Structure 1
Amino acid sequence: MSLPSLSHLQFAILDILEGRSRSGKFVRVKLAERGIDRNGPMFYQIMARLEDAGFVEGWYEQKKIEDTTVRERTYKITGDGVHALNDVRLFYVSSASSAVNGAR
């Protein structure tokens, strides 16, 4: 089995997005809970790369916060993103299984 095509950060982002659209802010909070801290510009650069690769779709939604209207970026995983995520999961499960079986 070949090496995964996703970095650990890309994997974490796709894992967070699996099954539901999420705001960029939500994704950053969930990454921080996993011990992955990315500032705004770096985070959005990574998200743009995931969009360019076809793994996520992003769009802006207008939100009202107090008396101010802001645009918030929202993302969802695509079919290709789900496929890549599952490939990486399979890689790690297979690798772990091989390591356990090889240790016997």
Structure 2
Amino acid sequence: MSERGAIRRSGEDWISFLPDPLLCQILSDLPTKNAVTTSVLSKKWRTLWLSIPILDLDIDDFPDYTTFTSVVSRFLDFSKESCLHKLKLAFTRHDDDDPTS
């Protein structure tokens, strides 16, 4: 029996058998929020998002500043050995935040 047949019969997905560097490349094409949500798929994926070379965050996706800084700190602490290639932050300025109004 081939490995493919074994995978199909066992009901497991094929994507989990891809090497981590390839999975990280796939996840790096997603906003970080989506990459993080993949962590619930399996134990193997739990910290995989921490190895992606791109941090793409929308500050408005976080309930408060403390949660935002916690996520960024966790990412940077875990990724000390790796190289962050791209940092993308998005935020919305609300009129009530304008000090001139």
Report the TM-score when normalising by structure 2: 0.31
Report the TM-score when normalising by structure 1: 0.30
1 or 2, which has the higher strand percentage? 1
